[in-house]
Homo-oligomer: A and B are copies of this chain.
Amino acid sequence: MQPPRVIETCLYVDDLEKAEEFYSRVLGLAVYAKLEGRHTFFRSGDGVFLLFNPERTRKAAANGVPTHGATGEGHVAFEMGEDEIDTWRSKLEGEKVEIELEHTWPNGGFSFYFRDPAGNSVELVTPCIWGLE
């Protein structure tokens, strides 16, 4: 018995407005829902990408949902098509996003690494690094 997939991927940020602006502008993610000061939720593919302010989510929620909240640099990776590498490089450069690393993996996968405004490590990666199409 195994869940078919991850449906919610989370990162924590100190400034939700800055982070929302970043993920909307740089990655083109669409806001699905938000609660000012607590969270901004985006759709991504057939799942969601959730940004939380850990100061808020560490406190008991009105609906009783369990607390959580991390500090420090998290990591997320989004898929990038093999034929989109140059387009993404131009996009990141055009948006003045500093590319921390361009990395070619032993199996031919390729990654861009950069930081969101909260310092989280964000990656765009071709799916072949995981043997995925």
A7 contact set on B, CB distance < 8 A: 77-79, 125, 127, 130, 132
Query: How many copies, total?
Result: 2
A72 contact set on B, CB distance < 8 A: 54, 58, 68-72
How many residues of chain A get a CB closer than 8 Å to chain B's CBs?
62
With A71-B72, A132-B47 as contacts: A101 and B5 at CB distance below 8 Å: no
A45 contact set on B, CB distance < 8 A: 3-6
11 A-B pairs in the complex with CB atoms less than 8 angstroms apart? A3-B45, A4-B81, A5-B79, A6-B6, A6-B44, A6-B49, A7-B127, A9-B9, A58-B72, A65-B103, A66-B121
Query: Interface on A for B, CB 8 Å cutoff?
Result: 1-10, 12, 27-30, 32, 43-50, 52, 54, 57-58, 63-81, 87-88, 91, 100-101, 103, 113, 120-121, 123-125, 127, 130, 132
If A8-B123, A70-B74 are given as contacts, then 17 extra A-B residue pairs at C-beta distance below 8 Å, sorted by A number, are: A1-B28, A4-B81, A5-B79, A6-B9, A7-B130, A8-B75, A9-B9, A47-B130, A54-B72, A58-B72, A64-B101, A66-B113, A66-B121, A67-B73, A67-B121, A70-B70, A70-B73
